[in-house]
Amino acid sequence: MKAHKSPRPKGVAFAGEALSQGQIDRGTALQTRFRPQAKYSWAAGQAMSRFLDELKAGRLIARKCYRCERTLFPPRMFCEECYRPTDEWVYIKDTGTIETFSISYIDKDAKRITEPIFVGVVSVDGASPLMGMMHYFGETTKEEIRIGMKVKAVWKPAEERTGSVLDIRYWKPIREARR
């Protein structure tokens, strides 16, 4: 009788034996189906829950840290600079500056597109430097968009908001008034 050679890597132990294709094809492998009636809840935490509630209301909110004098956006209950609880909630503007961006010819569903979409990071006015929000940019072109461009949030109508970062449709350029 020939010794059975296991396809397992040397030194790796698994409970049981792998099914053969023949066992699967003949239906000789025991099979069961089970649909659990799982119930669950999900919480975003204190800071993120408030942040999402404020987005639904059409506002941006951050947390202040008095010790290191920073305004944390998105808000956090603990400061990662000085390792202490943050001190207060503050509203910040829905304007900002493009810190980085990408011109993409692949859409949200990973399909190729002919007209590009623009994504990147916005440093929001009122928040500390290097605190940004990754988002979409609109009402601009690939020739016009640039790092340092001032932008403003374009919000969904109040009745369409759900408490998501996508309650902001996109950030559009703030164009200077011509004289």
> Is the predicted pLDDT of residue 161 greater than 80, yes or no?
yes
**Contacts of residue 134, Cβ cutoff 8 Å, sequence gap at least 6:** 119, 120, 121
pLDDT tens figures, 74-103: 999 999 999 999 999 999 999 999 999 999
CA angle 165, 118, 154 (to 5 degrees): 45
Read off the pLDDT of residues 8-45 as tens digits, 9 standing for 90 and up: 566 666 667 777 888 878 878 776 778 888 888 888 89
**Is the bond into 74 cis (omega within 30 degrees of 0)?**
yes
pLDDT of 133 higher than 70: yes
Q: Could you give the C-alpha distances from 18 to 3, 21, 55, in angstroms and in order?
A: 16, 10, 51
pLDDT digits (tens, 9 = 90+) for 48-67: 999 999 999 999 999 999 99
Per-residue pLDDT, averaged over 145-160, amounts to 98
Which pLDDT value is given to residue 48?
96
pLDDT band at 108 (very low <50, low <70, confident <90, very high): confident
Structure tokens at 134: 């990754």
Given a cut of 80, whether residue 176 has pLDDT beyond it is no
pTM: 0.75
Gap between the Cα atoms of 102 and 108, Å rounded: 14
Domain boundaries, the chain: 46-173
Residue (of 156, 170, 56) closest to 122 by Cα position: 170
